[in-house]
Structure 1
Amino acid sequence: MEGMTSSALGSPMRHDRLLSALAAWRLPVEGVEPLPGGRDSTAWLVRAPGGARYVARLSGAADAAAFTSGLRVAARAGRRGLACGAPVALPDGRPAAELPEGVLALLEYVPGTVPDAGSPHDLRRMGAVLGRAHRLLADAVDDLPERLRWPWPWASACLREAPMPSHVRRAAARVLDEAREATPLLRLGVVHGDPGLGGFRLSDASPARDGLVGWDAALHAPLLYDVACVAVLTRDTPRALRHVLDGYRTLDPAIVRDLDHLDLFVRVRWAVTAIHYARERQRRGSEVGEAALAEAYAGMRG
């Protein structure tokens, strides 16, 4: 799903089938091993001769357009020097291969450690990476289809079509309307869309090589949206957001002006969460996400 995509993958890809698909890149492969693919895809670590490593990611066909646009964003960020897991192009220039199982991409491997939520130093580095990514992608809106651009036609379509309780639908619609009305006061750009701690890689060599991977949920939006995502995703760690913002401000001091609207965009993030789980219900059954929808509704109400 745009914003927080959810793949409709079928059974896991067999090992022999994966190796056959990877042959399209014409790279020698010594071995593959499963990685935690998260919510949105199936992922493998791919080992090549000489110690080279890559990440293969398979996204469900239902999310192919969003996944592919995220690859374009990552490719641009990579060309501009961000360690972001940029796609390795196929010999014909395509960023991914279309398969019966979905869309397969081969990504550059980004070494490093995930930030420690209890470490102010790590969190400041995380914030600096996010600020750098926003700066590098300020003009990248053309990499995204119109529906993923603010004011988010995709969200309006989901609110019309995805099954959710009427009170949740109304709350999400109100929050999005408020955010759209605030647009003239905010700076827009391309955002990561789901910047949890697990997407960041802190380099052992230098903070200049710190990275941010997993651009499947990339969107055009107020830059504040990513900050609000961090606020929600680190809500169980007191003062985590403060340290992230300290790091962000080293790259973009102007973010301070946007923070007047942070509470609103925290509610926007909860609206996106509600849409995500409503689509999960639509795909997998009505029993999915009941508690999560209730939590999202509470978040939208502040």
Structure 2
Amino acid sequence: MEGMTSASSALGSPMRHDRLLSALAAWQLPVEGTEPLTGGLNSTTWLVRAPGGVRYVAKLADTADAAAFAGGLRVAARAGRRGLAGGAPVALPDGRLAAELPEGVLALLEYVPGTVPDAGSPHDLRRLGAVLGRAHRLLADAVDDLPERLRWPWPWASARLREVPMPPHVRRAAAQVLDEAREATPLLRLGVVHGDPRLDGFRLSGGSSALDGLVGWDAVLHAPLLYDVACVAVLTRDTPRALRHVLDGYRTVDPAIVRDLDHLDLFVRLRWAVTAIHVAGRIARGALRGVSGSPEDNEAGLARAYAGMRG
């Protein structure tokens, strides 16, 4: 993300290429080379090449996000055991799923082949929706993989709103949206959600659609299933009719999602509230991971999030 041989550490300082190779040695696997991958809101990733054409993905998360990162690794491992290509973690020889480093928390993940969905392709978007619905179905009981604070009604969000410095008007707007979403809970179905289902997290197989995957589980949460749909709505907001095609695919796996859609606008606002909380936290920590490296980008992101919460 920040060049071919370095990436952001927990506070934005570079991690040298030799340091990455040294850290990867803990897995006791041969490595031929690495190259950075784009994308990722709260982490930095590299493609890791091993002999024989074998590939992995190395992911470095901020130390402050370690608990959520660990929960995502456990969920990805469960997804893999149940037949969903989710980028499951490769365990260290001692059984740990990640290594703690001065630069953050590093995991080595299985590489999931496939193409990223084309936002302009109704066919791709329907496949994306089907993968999301399948993930929700397969991980319905995975809540035990997550720490209590990440489970609905999200103690983590209340704590962040109390503790993270942010403009008062942003704090008030986020608190109001969170309260409204909690009040709607009795009308909605809960489950484990991906939390950040960007298009570049989906992998469409060149073969059977049963091999399609969803990677990047470091933002995983327990929440109303509608939250992931709202995330897709936000992330595809510049593509006309994209959400309609995604929902067409989702309904092939879970037709009951239509009963939740009356609350979609509220959960779109909740997605923006979550974005505001995360961006405010990055500003407070001086963290630049996942953005271009400019503090102004974080400030602009906070302004966008506030506008989104206002509808």
Q: TM-score, normalised by structure 2?
A: 0.92
Give a deviation string over 1:224-269, Cα, whole Å, max 9, x none.
0000000000000010000000000000001011111111100100
- Any residues of structure 2 matched to 1:121-200 within 5 Å, and which? 121-200=123-202
Structure 1 distance, partners of 2:9, 2:104, is 9
Structure 2 distance, partners of 1:138, 1:75, is 14
Structure 2 distance, partners of 1:87, 1:143, is 14
> Which residue of structure 1 aligns with residue 106 of structure 2?
104
- Give the alignment partner of residue 63 of structure 2, picking from 55, 61, 84: 61
Structure 2 distance, partners of 1:301, 1:10, is 31
- The answer to whether the 8 Å contact 1:159/1:173 transfers is yes
Q: Which amino acid aligns with 1:20?
A: S
Partner of 2:239, secondary structure, is coil
Q: Which amino acid aligns with 2:211?
A: R
- Give the alignment partner of residue 301 of structure 2, picking from 269, 285, 292: 292
Q: Which amino acid aligns with 1:301?
A: R
- Give the alignment partner of residue 44 of structure 2, picking from 37, 42, 45: 42
Structure 1 residue 291, shift from structure 2 partner: 2.8
- Give the alignment partner of residue 233 of structure 1, picking from 218, 235, 246: 235
Structure 1 distance, partners of 2:112, 2:95, is 21
Q: Which amino acid aligns with 1:94?
A: R
Structure 1 distance, partners of 2:225, 2:273, is 17
Partner of 2:156, secondary structure, is helix
Structure 1 residue 106, shift from structure 2 partner: 0.5
Structure 1 distance, partners of 2:193, 2:9, is 20
Structure 1 unmatched ranges of 5 or more: 1-5
Could you list the runs of 4 or more consecutive aligned residues of structure 1 that deviate by over 6 angstroms after TM superposition? none
Give a deviation string over 1:196-224, Cα, whole Å, max 9, x none.
11110111111111110000000000000
Closer, same or farther: CA 221–21 of 1 in aligned 2, 3 Å:
same
Structure 1 distance, partners of 2:19, 2:188, is 47
> Which residue of structure 2 aligns with residue 80 of structure 1?
82
> Which residue of structure 2 aligns with residue 3 of structure 1?
none
Structure 2 unmatched ranges of 5 or more: 1-7, 288-294
> Which residue of structure 2 aligns with residue 70 of structure 1?
72
Q: Which amino acid aligns with 1:220?
A: H
Structure 2 distance, partners of 1:171, 1:30, is 49
Structure 1 distance, partners of 2:310, 2:9, is 28
- The answer to whether the 8 Å contact 1:280/1:288 transfers is no
Give a deviation string over 1:65-101, Cα, whole Å, max 9, x none.
1111110110101111111111001111111111121
- The answer to whether the 8 Å contact 2:39/2:200 transfers is no
Structure 2 distance, partners of 1:17, 1:290, is 31
Structure 2 distance, partners of 1:7, 1:46, is 18
Aligned CA RMSD, in angstroms, stands at: 1.6
- The answer to whether the 8 Å contact 1:7/1:62 transfers is no
Give a deviation string over 1:259-293, Cα, whole Å, max 9, x none.
11111100100111111121122112985633322
Partner of 2:255, secondary structure, is coil
Closer, same or farther: CA 15–293 of 1 in aligned 2, 3 Å:
closer
- Give the alignment partner of residue 262 of structure 1, picking from 256, 264, 267: 264
Give a deviation string over 1:135-186, Cα, whole Å, max 9, x none.
0100000000010000001111111111222121111111110110111111
Structure 1 distance, partners of 2:25, 2:167, is 46
Number of positions where the alignment pairs a residue of Structure 1 with one of Structure 2: 297
Partner of 2:264, secondary structure, is helix
Structure 1 residue 295, shift from structure 2 partner: 2.0
